[in-house]
Amino acid sequence: LLSELRANALVFGSSFQRVASCFVQGLADRLASVQPPGTAVGRVQLPPVMNIMDIMSGSDKKQEAFRLVYEICPHIKFGHFVANLAILEAFEGESLVHVVDLGMTLGLPQGHQWRHLIQSLAATRGGAGKPHCTRLRITAVGLCVDRFDVIGKDLKTYAKSMGINLEFNIVESNLENLKPENIKVSDDEVLVVNSILQLHCVVKESRGALNSVLQMIHELSPKLLVLVEQDSSHNGPFFLGRFMEALHYYSAIFDSLDAMLPKYDTRRAKMEQFYFAEEIKNIVSCEGADRVERHERVDQWRRRMSRAGFQATPLRLMSQAKQWLGNNKVCEGYTVVEDKGCLVLGWNAKPIVAVSCWKC
């Protein structure tokens, strides 16, 4: 049956055929993991998904796919834009400011989010025509230390050219092992914590891991926690419900790629097969600690954050967000709606990414 499904799941077919190819592979991986060796399912040999980029290594494929997702899809850029607006509001009138970046904006090589923030801070002038912000501290949290080091050096050079004194620190740790004492903070600075598509990775069945991370953030007493997450329910207790939610969610994303790129554009194939397909396969084929793509709806995040002692801070940035969509020439079909103080980017009314802000 899987072989028959795969025969109709084409990398350069319709959006449904393309998304089906990812889900079929996820189902095949799931069945292979639970079937004893030598069974009929275990012996199914599915044809390769694609071979147009076989000369690239696995890590190179993923990095290239992620770069394309950032450049072509509005999801992450939207999160960065709204997050920065909220951060700038929190920093208004302050001279010493500090951002703790959980995941360092996903390891994007240019530190895009913080370049834009530095530019905005430099444009806010105080006395004698100098930037009001006299020192920006960025603390990058994650395991990609070498990459962070390069990003930090580039950002310091850029900040200096903009008249901003940047202090860049690296904390080598995953979120689950991060402690408040790992973060260097000062009483005279305003602290903001920034999480872009990160916290869902520490959502587990027991809730303990996420609760520990949220407690750690709460102990830092930031003025603001900015949370950007995929807005879909991919962490339900039942496989079928999770499968159907993921199918609808990624079908919307693949439909949007149809509207943005030609049918045989290899950039689209790279994004779908080496970025979105990896998320799909993790949701469909993995369980327990191996399943890290545990996306949840914004309502569920509200409950989790409230239990952890955080209070929602409504975002009043709808006009700016809509203007951003227009200025960036995002294709028709993408919309921004306000949902109880959160801003949600969607495709034809299907929520894709939600931005929310929280205070202690």
Specify the range with the lowest mean pLDDT, choosing from 11-25, 206-220, 263-277. 11-25
CA atoms of 331 and 318, how far apart (whole Å): 18
> What is the pTM assigned to this prediction?
0.91
Q: Report the alpha-carbon angle 161-166-167, nearest 5.
A: 150
Q: Is the pLDDT of residue 249 over 80?
A: yes
Q: Is the pLDDT of residue 53 over 50?
A: no
Q: Determine the pLDDT at residue 4.
A: 58
Predicted confidence (pLDDT) per residue in 131-182, tens digit: 788 899 999 999 989 999 999 999 999 999 999 999 999 999 999 999 999 9
CA atoms of 37 and 333, how far apart (whole Å): 46
Q: Which fold has domain 72-232+296-359?
A: Rossmann fold (3.40.50)
Phi, then psi, of 283 in degrees rounded to 5: -65, -40
CA atoms of 68 and 106, how far apart (whole Å): 13
Tokens encoding 345: 């980017």
Tell me the average pLDDT across 318-326.
95
- Burial letters for 165-193: b for 16+ Cβ neighbours within 10 Å, e otherwise? ebebbbbeeebeebeeeebebeeebbbbb
